[in-house]
């Protein structure tokens, strides 16, 4: 049998067979493929650069919010893909579909009945949406019941305004059986009020929106909700707000009295699968756009988490307590996102790396010690044979001497770091002991 090291007569292992060598090569290839896959998953794009948002009508309040979010997000390399809709109800239907491309949207408080299985979360409440009722005629209208039997515009299908209008009118005993309720958009409702084909109409939006400015500067009358407190009690998703006297025009004193309005809350809602890093970016955008003061809220009132319609995003709760995560404060978004996204992968790798680094010295020491163990095993086998052989022949003693000299020669060629030289000389001392055993066996043979 071929010996890889001829000096090892007694303890050399069987050489690796071709079949075993092939298996080892195959195993190495599998390991390399696995490592390649891991590296591929690490270096793939670390974050998405596009968010699809569902808003509302092209000239509506939600579209205005999204248009202002877009440049803020663009600074961090994220494109906001803005998609129009009929309003809050359609936005909710789009978002609750797990297979839809929509990830974020605006939903008006009080317009949906969220389910636990929707998979949606509130990122923030971002703004009040005041509800305006404009009407024609000389009589003062301050209760919705006064509109019974009239022609009333209530919004378009799929909008949050339509839902809220029907609920509020229902509290006052108004329905389609006793009143002509017309589903129409804001533009048509305004024209119908001016032309006389509607007696009153519901509108929703900020006072500085184009439609609201037009309405507030027209000859139409604005209803003040005398029963606002009771209506908010029945419909907790709404809030009572005041449009101050003279807000439209101080010069013309319009309106001439404080007007009590009801307001829904615009909620920025996302699928709960949206990456946390993007949630923080959206919160930054919302803070930039909505934190200023307006007619109804002081500086910094929005965005906030004062809502319970959908579960609150855990990232939002952390954001309002301590701001952006540490990495996102000091690193570019793409780098912070990459690190955060891969943290669960990197941490185990770091643990393994630290373990390997700590184990390397012991592995090196073990490898060096193994060089000596091979020869000690050879020596022990030779010494055992000497002790067991009571009457060796001259040929056997000659073989023993040949083996011990080979072992000695090989031991002299061992290359180890300086701090292991004492092991080399310990091995040489052991070789000397066995050499003496051979000499003693040869002396006994000569005496015979």
Question: Tens digits of per-residue pLDDT, 217-251?
Answer: 999 999 999 999 999 999 999 999 999 999 999 99
**Can you tell me the distance from the alpha carbon of 64 to that of 57, in angstroms, rounded to the nearest whole number?**
10
CA distance 128 to 25: 68
CA dihedral (401, 405, 407, 410) in degrees, to 10, reads: -160
Query: Of 396, 406, 386, 382, which is closest to residue 5 (Cα–Cα)?
Result: 406
Residue with token string 């310990």? 426
67: how many CB neighbours lie within 10 A of its CB? 13
Q: What is the model's pTM?
A: 0.65
pLDDT tens digits for 329-341?
666 655 655 566 5
pLDDT score at 45: 46
As a dihedral over the C-alpha atoms of residue 407, residue 410, residue 415, residue 421, rounded to 10 degrees, the angle is 30
Answer yes or no: is pLDDT of 201 > 60: yes
Calculate mean pLDDT across residues 69-79. 92
Q: How many CB atoms neighbour CB 80 within 10 A? A: 21
Q: What is the pLDDT of residue 346?
A: 63
What would the pLDDT profile of 254-296 be if each residue is shown by its tens digit?
Answer: 999 999 999 999 999 999 999 888 898 999 999 999 998 777 8
């Amino acid at each position: 049998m071929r010996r890889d090291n001829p000096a090892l007569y007694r303890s050399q292992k069987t050489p690796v067979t071709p079949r075993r060598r092939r298996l080892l090569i195959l195993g190495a290839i599998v390991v390399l493929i696995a490592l390649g896959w891991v590296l591929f998953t690490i270096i793939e794009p670390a974050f998405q650069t596009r968010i699809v948002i569902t808003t509302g009508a092209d000239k509506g309040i939600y579209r205005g919010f999204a248009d202002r979010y877009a440049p803020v997000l663009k600074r961090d390399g994220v494109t906001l893909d803005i998609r129009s809709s009929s309003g809050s109800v359609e936005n909710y239907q789009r978002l609750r579909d797990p297979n839809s491309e929509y990830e974020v949207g605006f939903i008006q408080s009080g317009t949906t009945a969220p389910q636990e299985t929707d998979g949606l979360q509130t990122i923030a409440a971002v703004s009040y949406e005041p509800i305006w009722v404009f009407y024609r005629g000389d009589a003062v209208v301050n209760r919705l019941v006064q509109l019974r039997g009239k022609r009333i515009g209530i919004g378009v299908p799929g909008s949050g305004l339509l839902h809220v209008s029907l609920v509020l009118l229902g509290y006052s005993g108004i329905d389609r059986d006793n009143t002509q309720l017309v589903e129409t958009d804001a533009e048509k409702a305004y024209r119908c009020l001016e032309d006389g084909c509607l007696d009153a109409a519901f509108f929703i939006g900020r006072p500085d929106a184009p439609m609201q400015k037009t309405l507030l500067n027209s000859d139409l009358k604005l209803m003040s909700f005398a029963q606002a407190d009771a209506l908010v009690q029945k419909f907790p998703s709404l809030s009572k707000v005041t449009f101050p006297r003279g807000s439209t025009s101080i010069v013309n004193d319009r309106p001439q009295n404080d007007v009590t309005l009801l307001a829904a809350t615009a909620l920025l809602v996302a699928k709960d699968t949206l990456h946390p890093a993007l949630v923080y970016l959206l919160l930054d955008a919302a803070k930039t756009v909505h934190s200023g003061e307006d007619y109804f809220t002081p500086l910094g009132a929005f965005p906030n988490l004062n809502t319970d319609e959908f579960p609150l995003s855990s990232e939002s709760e952390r954001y309002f307590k301590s701001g952006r995560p540490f990495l996102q404060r000091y690193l570019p978004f793409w780098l912070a996102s990459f690190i955060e996204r891969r943290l669960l992968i990197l941490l185990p790798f770091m643990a393994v790396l630290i373990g390997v680094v700590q184990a390397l010295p012991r592995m090196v020491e073990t490898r060096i010690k193994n060089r000596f163990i091979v020869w000690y095993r050879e020596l022990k086998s030779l010494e055992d044979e000497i002790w067991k052989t009571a009457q060796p022949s001259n040929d056997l003693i000659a073989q023993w001497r040949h083996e011990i000299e080979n072992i000695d020669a090989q031991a002299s060629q061992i290359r180890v770091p300086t701090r292991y030289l004492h092991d080399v000389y310990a091995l040489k001392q052991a070789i000397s002991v066995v050499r003496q055993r051979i000499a003693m066996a040869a002396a006994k043979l000569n005496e015979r």
